[in-house]
Structure formats: C-alpha cells, structure tokens
Amino acid sequence: MKKTARLAIESSAFDGRVLLGLDKLGLNPVWQRHEKAGSRAGVWLIGCESGDDTARRCARCGDAGRIRSSWLRRLAHTPVGQHAVHLMVRVRRYECVPCARSWTDDLTRVAPEGRRLTEAAAWWAAAEVVLKSKSILACARDLHCSWGAVNKAVLEKGMETLVGDPHRLDGVETVGVDEHVWRRTRHGNRYVTVIVDLTPRRHGRPARLLDMVEGRSEKAFARWLAERTQAFRDAVKVVAMDAFAGYKKAARREIPHAVEVLDPFHVVRLAGDKLTAVRCRLQRERTGRRGTKDDPLYKGRRVLLKTEALRTDKQRERAARLLDDPANVALRLAHGAYQRIIRCYAQEDRKRGRGMMAELIEALNARGAAPGCPELAVLGRTLKRRMGDVLAFFDREHSANGPTEAINGRLETLRGIALGFRNLDNYITRSLLHAGGFRHTIQTHL
C-alpha cells in the first residue's frame, strides 16, 4: 500500500510540451497534423505559438502593439520514435502606432535566424554524428529535411560550441604528429598534418584530435605551432613523431625545449622495410624477376615480419629454412636486427630496454657489422642520427604515437561513412567532431 502511494505521488499528468521539449524552447502547441512521407513513418506537424507574454509590448513606450501580420516558420525538431517532428511556429509582426516602429517575435531561443533546425534538433544531429558515427544523410532522413540544412547546423554547432572553445587546448603536454591522406584523386593523394593530444593517456583516457592542417611538411607543422599562444608552446614537453625530418625541424624551431620522441611503431616499421628490401633484392639477384607464389622468399614474406614469439611451429620451420640457407646471409642479418628491435620494445623494464636499444644501435654502426647488406647499414646510420629520439621513448611513458595512428584509422572510417569529402574545411570540422574528445560535452547538452 505504501509503495502504491509513493508511485502516485511521483507520477504527473501527461504534458506534450515536456515530451517534445517545447517548454525549454518557450513554445505552446496549439494543433497537430500527420503527413505521410513516402515509405517512411511520416512527419508530425505541430503548430506552435510563442509563449512569451511580453513579446507584444513595445520596448520604447511599453504599450501593447497591434498584430500587423503573421506567417509560419517550419523547423525540424527532434524525432519521436520513427516519426519526424516539424514545428510550424507562428511568427507575428507587431506595430506600435505612437512610436511608429515594428518588431517580430524573438525566436533565437528556438533556432537562429536562417536555420531550418531547432536548437534541440541541431544537438540531436551532432550527437548522432559524433556518438553513433551516423552519416549526415541518415540524420537528414530521420529529420525529414535536406542534407544541406543538417550539415550546416552540425558544422555551425561544432565550430561555435565545441571547436571554438577557447579552453580546448589547455593542459596539452604531449603532442603526437603524423601525416594523413584526406582525399585520393587520379592526380595523386592529398595530405594533411594531424596533431593529436596524447596527454590524456597518462590518466587512462583516450587521446583526442587537436587540429589538422593542409600539407605534410615542416612548414605546415611549424606554422601551426607558431599560431598557438606562447603559453601553449611552453606547456608542451614531448612531441611524438615518425622518422620524417621535417616534423623534427619544425618542433626544434618552435618548441626547442620539448623532447622529441621517435615512435616505436615507425622504428619497427623502418626496420621491417629494410628487411623486405633485402628479401626483394635477393629475389631479383637469384631469379631476375619479382617473387611469385612458388618462390620460397616470396612465400616467407609474412613469416619474416612476424614476431618470433608469436610464430606457429610451421612458421618457425619455414623461417628457419630461409635463414639457414648460406645464400641468405644478408637476410639473416636484417632479420636478426628486426627481431632485436622488437625485443627491445617488448621489455617490461624500460631501463633495460633502453640499454638494449643503445647497444643495438652502436653494434649496427660498428665497422663491418653488415657485410653484404647495405640496407642494414642505412638502417644503422638512420637510427644513429636519431638515437636521442629513439631512446627518449624509454624515458617517458605514454609517449608512443600509437593513439595518433588509431585516430588516423577513425578518420578513414569517417571518410568511408561520408563516401569521401571534397571540401577540406568541412573534413577538418567533421574530423574534429568525430575524434576531438567532445563526447562528454555533447551528452551534457542533450
């Protein structure tokens, strides 16, 4: 009996204004009508009027103005279930005869001038795009309005409230930088430089996209750093990057106090590329052509690049046959260096891993360390030249550029959802919404 009484107290009368969120917009519903929309569930048209009782008062003399004219403004609202909802808002123009002035109902609380979506619908679309990775076209179908109207509302909401937040770059101490292909054309790929905030990784949170700039050069990254405030540049302590010298030069020029870290992924990949180059060279020297499916060197291409500890028994036997062949001495040297680099990064004791890596780099640069293997000599010189950057990884936790590569993968997914982009500004804004760490901010506005 007590439970029933409590439920009765907590319940309230049904209010359509609350269900549709019209109370927050300051609107009163006066009529409704359902329209069929082809094969879809249809659209509910809700006739509304402004609930502001003071709108009719003249701001100059305070007298009540007369209604001169009125019209309906159609706005897409948040859908209910499978049904789209459009608000048919009555906008009145008032006239004050003594003051000879006129004005209209203020609907900026409902939607800015020129926008086809209500504020609630704009945030709903932004949440669908960011939280559920839904395409703009799918949101437009749910709202039963044009693609351009939804795209404009989402981009404006993102730029004004999210990307335009002046405190968005506060607290950035570790930065990751990498290149990214944003469009593929018949005349070549178009690149951008991706800047990622790796600082949240120290607290167990995902990295977030800071910005994207056109181009993949020293000039592009240096220009972005120069445009930031001095406080931002002073706060950056670590820059994680690949082996591209341009990013290193830009960081050294704009933030000379920051430690540059050569990412483990790119170091391992650099060694793997040299191993592949040795294998391809031996294949051409032996057969005069590229490898085919029946050539042992070609069949073992994936096995050689796999970590030794992860190989199956069959894969170990295949790798052993290749490496024990006296004609593959250069391949054995390159494979050994590649696996040693992997073991250095696999060490739980970072101090020990650092010592192993330093010893390996010195060994690769010793005289006669790579007889008959010029590719390994080139690898040794590259690692020697960037030795400080390679070893810096072992001194600083959470400085790997792996999260940057993960964000690059998310941007590839975004481009696939949208079936490609032609406008770089739109792509940058959508990318920031997709991977800029705005999930919590958007959820607070829903």
Mean pLDDT of the chain: 88
Q: Is residue 180 part of a domain?
A: yes
Query: How far is 37 from 398, CA to CA, in rounded Å?
Result: 52
User: Which of 183, 177, 298 lies closest to 248, judged by CA?
Assistant: 177
Q: Look at the alpha carbons of 247, 353, 313, 333 in this order and tell me if their dihedral is positive or negative.
A: positive
In a domain, 357, yes or no: yes
Q: Name residue 315's amino acid.
A: Q
CA 258 to chain centroid, in Å, comes to: 24
Q: What burial letters (b/e) apply to 235-244, b meaning 16+ CB within 10 Å?
A: bbbbbbbbbb
Same-domain status, 258 and 270: no
Query: Do 270 and 385 share a domain, yes or no?
Result: yes
Mean pLDDT of 91-116: 88
SS (H, E, C) 352-375: HHHHHHHHHHHHHCCCCCCCCCHH
| 183, 127, 51, 64 alpha-carbon torsion, rounded to 10° | -30
User: Residues 13, 18, 24, 28: what is their CA dihedral angle, to the nearest 10 degrees?
Assistant: -80
Res 11: pLDDT: 57
Please say whether the beta carbons of 122 and 154 come within 8 A: yes
User: At which of 115, 139, 162 does a domain end?
Assistant: 162
> Of 162, 183, 205, at which residue does a domain stop?
162
pLDDT at 364: 93
68 inside domain: yes
268 plus 386 within the same structural domain: yes
Does 446 have pLDDT greater than 90?
A: no
Q: Is residue 87 classed as helix, strand or coil in its secondary structure?
A: strand
User: What CA–CA distance (Å, rounded) separates 419 from 402?
Assistant: 26
pLDDT of residue 12 exceeding 70: no
pLDDT in tens, 258-284: 999 998 988 999 999 999 999 999 999
Please indicate, yes or no, whether residues 120 and 153 belong to a single structural domain of this protein: yes
pTM as predicted: 0.77
- CA dist 156 → 83, 162, 259, 316, 429 (Å): 25, 10, 37, 56, 9
Domain termination site, one of 132, 162, 192? 162
Model confidence over 110-148: pLDDT tens digits? 998 888 999 999 999 988 888 888 888 999 999 999 999
Residues 6+ apart with CB under 8 A from 126: 154, 157, 158, 433, 442
Q: 333: domain range?
A: 264-395
The pLDDT tens digits of the residues spanning 143-156 come to: 999 999 999 898 88
pLDDT at 398: 83
Return the SS3 of 301: helix
CA distance linking residue 172 with residue 433, whole number of Å: 18
Check residues 196 and 202 and name the one with the higher pLDDT.
196
Please tell me the distance from the alpha carbon of residue 235 to that of residue 310, in angstroms, as a whole number: 40
